[in-house]
Amino acid sequence: MADEPLVLGIETSCDETGVGVVRGTTLLADVVASSVDDHARYGGVVPEIASRAHLEAMVPTIERALARAGVRATDLDGIAVTAGPGLAGALLVGVSAAKAYAYALDKPLYGVNHLASHICVDQLEHGRLPEPTMALLVSGGHSSLLLAPDITTDVRPLGATIDDAAGEAFDKVARVLGLGFPGGPAIDRRARDGDPGAIAFPRGLTGPRDAPFDFSFSGLKTAVARWVEAQRRAGVEVPVADVAASFQEAVTDVLTRKAVRACREQGVDHLMIGGGVAANTRLRAMAEERCAAAGITLRVPRPGLCTDNGAMVAALGAEMVARNRPASALDLPADSSLPVTEPLVPAGEPG
């Protein structure tokens, strides 16, 4: 629709320089320049390298996204940017660029929450989110169950990881197995040739007295490392595919079990899964099965929209414009620990 808001979104919270252009709930362009290869030899994201890569990629990525969308910067109704949470230096590059464009073009600026964006991106694939939406957010930095009565103003955490994020567990286990970085896609691939029932790895926080919607993956990670270590000490070849499949099964079992339970207890009949780990094929299949059995409609964006990108930021920005939310102040801060309960950094917040 030509009358829907046209918004540019900028994402630089980690190692992806993402710029997206969205009109309402329609995706027009999604360009991602990743510095992931620069981090691979360190086995994890190096913040300083990420910041420098963002700085180099920022303007060309914005220009490419505008060109691909076939729109001019002057046509935009707003500029959205990830204000947090994320790496402070990395966020700062995106926030500074967004401020410069917003100021130069005289457009409203929306400093939005990375986690709410991971949820809102699904609108580009499956249309408007139902209200409330139950969301399972699983990424390299976060694992949370969130109830969102209104994605632009009201996001409520029901539970979260008490130690490692799900993606972090994938990355660490991949390192133990020598599968490289990032670990999620590598484990996903290797697990296809493995037996998910080969090794009974622990399911954290699933006891009757445990917090029903919190997660813990550090015990699982340690269990995998110990198991692999024991094999190596005994001189036995490590069955990498079986370990990958069994580990992946333990993670996805806990995630889907808790998400379905949250929907049931809150009386919500939709589940959205977002964040980088939502690209996992086993998680998608298991969630599909369990949601169908529980009468829950599952919404998972395609893998490219689950990992960090600019379109998700533009999607949330467009929703802010559509609902007439007040724009952020031009001196909005990049907030590395922006709480999940704050989808939009409000106007007039001290810089």
The residue ranges that bind ligand KG4 (CB under 6 A) are 14, 139-141, 167, 170-171, 182-185, 188, 275-277, 279-280, 307-308
Cβ at position 190, least distance to Zn ion in Å: 23
> Which DSSP letter does residue 174 get?
H
Distance CA 147, CA 180 (A): 34
CB-nearer residue toward ligand KG4: 218 or 266: 218
Give the H or E element holding residue 121. none
240 carries a ligand binding annotation: no
**From the list ligand KG4, Zn ion, none, partner contacted by residue 184 (C-beta under 5 to 8 A by kind):** ligand KG4
139 binds Zn ion (CB under 5 A): yes
184 carries a ligand binding annotation: yes
118 carries a ligand binding annotation: yes
- Annotate 77-110 with b (16+ C-beta within 10 A) or e (fewer): bbbbbbbbbbbebbbbbbbbbbbebbeeeebbbb
164 binds Zn ion (CB under 5 A): no
Cβ at position 309, least distance to ligand KG4 in Å: 8
Residues composing the chain: 351
308 binds Zn ion (CB under 5 A): yes
Distance CA 105, CA 86 (A): 26
Instruction: Calculate the CA dihedral of residues 164, 114, 148, 297 and round it to 10 degrees.
Output: -80
**From the list ligand KG4, Zn ion, none, partner contacted by residue 183 (C-beta under 5 to 8 A by kind):** ligand KG4
Cβ at position 310, least distance to ligand KG4 in Å: 12
178 carries a ligand binding annotation: no
E runs forming strands in 35-153: 78-84, 109-113, 133-138, 143-150
Cβ at position 55, least distance to Zn ion in Å: 20
CB-nearer residue toward Zn ion: 143 or 256: 143
Nearest by Cα to 139 from 7, 37, 11, 331: 11
Q: Where are the alpha helices (DSSP H) in 70-107?
A: 88-105
CB-nearer residue toward ligand KG4: 78 or 141: 141
15 binds Zn ion (CB under 5 A): no
137 carries a ligand binding annotation: yes
66 carries a ligand binding annotation: no
Strands 154-160 and 78-84: unpaired
| Cβ partners under 8 Å of residue 172, min gap 6 | 164, 183, 221
**From the list Zn ion, ligand KG4, none, partner contacted by residue 251 (C-beta under 5 to 8 A by kind):** none
| Annotated binding-site positions | 114, 118, 137-141, 171, 184, 188, 280, 308
| Annotated binding-site positions for substrate | 137-141, 171, 184, 188, 280
Question: Would you tell me which residues interact with Zn ion (CB under 5 A)?
Answer: 139, 308
